[in-house]
């Protein structure tokens, strides 16, 4: 540890650290334990300011009392807000209920406190739904969080209902936000008013985890990122509560994603209920490298009594195709998958990995034979003994 001597008298040790530039001192302070850092902050005003930049860089509020206490601290020393780059709020509804019963109401203070953090880059919200509107105020007007790059939104409902994303929909208009993760939300067909619609946002990654999302509104939301790179949509095998806004067709969500077909590199749809009688047309996704789905029939379309009029169109740059569920549940689709693999050297030359799940049923033989015919294609098995390059 570097020795720091606050008092300089003739013959006394010199504070050599004081000669260093601020950035170097901050780098040194970042290596210190919190206790030592607090001691350094008491030496003089300069060290106090530099120590604040480290002490308050990341703040976690795991109880509602903590953000109330911190709010009071910021009101006394507002410059500390600019030192904070990462905030996490995570506490259960029972904590908030107890606090309100004690007549302390954090509802209005949350957004006011966060808005003072002018350099905030990461915001992670996992709090009771009672704070939905208060935090939503952060995104409804001129942006207080001008440096925000990553945001996670999850409002806990005591009955495990979906929270209304419409209350926070303006998060999609944030100009600097690059990564957005939304958990257990619903979004109906209202979307944006025409006058509200943003443009050229910086969003690169969008994860919708166990959400009930209207596909038309999703299409509207996806109009505005300049170049979305990664999209994830997940839902339980048996959603609870029942879905009201979601489509049952995987094609509807792929149509919504076409708003970003020029830039998407990874699409993950882990939504077992989705299906369609038609194959997916993905040739327009010119930069897509990784595609993950539940079932092979989500890609090729479920077999019906009607003749197939469309064949699957794989993305031209696709490198990895993964199925989360076993193959072979639809015999006609199995034949189509084998045929598609056999023609990869023509239709999808860059595809080099197929990832499949093996449980009680093995990989269909015709699929294994097709993989053998493509020397560039690696088969990775989940649930088997090991991944292998050449299927046996």
pLDDT at 310: 67
State the average pLDDT over residues 129-148: 83
Domain 1-55: give its CATH code. 1.20.1280
The span from the CA of 377 to the CA of 385, in Å, is 19
Cα→Cα distances 42→83, 334, 341, Å: 17, 70, 67
pLDDT at 391: 47
State the average pLDDT over residues 277-294: 96
Mapped onto helix, strand or coil, the DSSP state of residue 233 is strand
Of 15-24, 56-65, 91-100, minimum mean pLDDT range: 91-100
Average pLDDT, the chain: 85
Of the candidates 123, 101, 105, 106, the one whose C-alpha atom is nearest the C-alpha of residue 114 is: 123
| CB distance 265 to 285 below 8 Å | no
The span from the CA of 258 to the CA of 315, in Å, is 12
Cα→Cα distances 134→169, 209, 340, Å: 13, 22, 51
Of the candidates 316, 323, 295, 314, the one whose C-alpha atom is nearest the C-alpha of residue 380 is: 323
pLDDT tens digits, 48-90: 677 666 667 777 777 777 767 777 777 777 777 888 899 998 8
| CB distance 350 to 318 below 8 Å | yes
DSSP annotation of 25 reads H
In degrees rounded to 5, what are phi and psi of residue 2?
-75, 135
CATH 1.20.1280 in the chain is located at: 1-55
pLDDT above 70 for 392: no
Which residue is it, tokens 């299409």?
219
pLDDT at 253: 98
Mapped onto helix, strand or coil, the DSSP state of residue 321 is strand
Find the Cα–Cα–Cα–Cα dihedral 289, 293, 296, 297, rounded to 10°: -120
pLDDT tens digits, 214-242: 999 999 999 999 999 999 999 999 999 99
Instruction: Show the tokens assigned to 304.
Output: 């019906």
Q: How many CB atoms lie within 10 A of CB 60?
A: 13
State the average pLDDT over residues 253-278: 97
pLDDT at 102: 47
The span from the CA of 313 to the CA of 348, in Å, is 9
| CB distance 131 to 167 below 8 Å | no
State the average pLDDT over residues 341-369: 92
State the average pLDDT over residues 20-38: 76
Mapped onto helix, strand or coil, the DSSP state of residue 268 is strand
| CB distance 78 to 112 below 8 Å | no
In degrees rounded to 5, what are phi and psi of residue 375?
-65, -25
More confident residue, 17 or 202: 202
Q: How many CB atoms lie within 10 A of CB 309?
A: 8
More confident residue, 384 or 139: 139
In this prediction, residue 312 has a pLDDT band, given cuts at 50, 70 and 90, of confident
| CB distance 198 to 173 below 8 Å | yes
pLDDT above 60 for 389: no
Which residue is it, tokens 């609870």?
240
The span from the CA of 107 to the CA of 127, in Å, is 11
CA 332 to chain centre: 36
pLDDT above 90 for 3: no
pLDDT above 60 for 2: no
pLDDT at 264: 99
| CB distance 244 to 219 below 8 Å | no
| CB distance 294 to 326 below 8 Å | no
Instruction: Show the tokens assigned to 186.
Output: 């619903």
């Amino acid at each position: 540890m570097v020795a720091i001597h606050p008092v300089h008298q003739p013959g006394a040790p010199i504070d050599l650290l004081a000669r260093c530039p601020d950035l170097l001192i901050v780098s040194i302070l970042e290596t210190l334990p919190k206790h030592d850092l607090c001691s350094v902050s008491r030496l003089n005003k300069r060290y106090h300011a530099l120590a604040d930049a480290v002490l308050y860089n990341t703040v976690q509020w795991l109880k509602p009392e903590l953000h109330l206490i911190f709010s009071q601290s910021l009101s006394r020393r507002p410059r500390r807000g600019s030192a904070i780059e990462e905030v996490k709020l995570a506490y259960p509804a029972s904590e908030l209920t107890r606090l309100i019963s004690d007549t302390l109401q954090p509802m209005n203070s949350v957004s006011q406190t966060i808005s003072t953090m002018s350099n905030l880059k990461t915001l992670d919200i996992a709090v009771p739904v009672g704070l939905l509107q208060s935090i939503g105020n952060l995104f409804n007007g001129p942006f207080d969080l001008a440096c925000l790059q990553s945001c996670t939104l999850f409002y806990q409902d005591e009955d495990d209902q979906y929270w209304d994303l419409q209350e926070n929909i303006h998060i999609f208009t944030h100009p600097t936000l690059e990564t957005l993760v939304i958990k257990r939300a619903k979004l109906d067909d209202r979307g944006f008013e025409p006058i509200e619609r943003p443009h050229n946002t910086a969003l690169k990654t969008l994860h919708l985890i166990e959400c009930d999302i209207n596909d038309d509104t999703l299409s509207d939301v996806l109009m505005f990122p300049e170049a979305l790179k990664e999209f994830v949509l997940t839902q339980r095998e048996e959603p609870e509560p029942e879905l009201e806004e979601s489509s049952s067709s995987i094609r509807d969500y792929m149509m919504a994603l076409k708003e970003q077909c020029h830039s998407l590199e990874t699409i993950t749809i882990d939504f077992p209920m989705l299906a369609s009688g038609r194959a997916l047309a993905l040739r327009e996704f010119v930069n897509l490298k990784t595609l993950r789905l539940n079932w092979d029939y989500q890609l090729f379309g479920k077999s019906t009594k009607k003749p197939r009029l469309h064949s699957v169109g794989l993305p031209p740059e696709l490198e990895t195709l993964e199925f989360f569920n076993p193959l072979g549940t639809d015999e006609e689709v199995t034949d189509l998958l084998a045929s598609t693999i056999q023609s990869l050297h023509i239709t999808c030359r860059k595809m080099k990995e197929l990832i499949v799940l093996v449980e009680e049923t093995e990989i269909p033989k015709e699929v294994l034979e097709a993989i053998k015919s493509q020397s560039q294609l690696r088969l990775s098995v989940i649930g088997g003994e090991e991944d292998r390059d050449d299927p046996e």
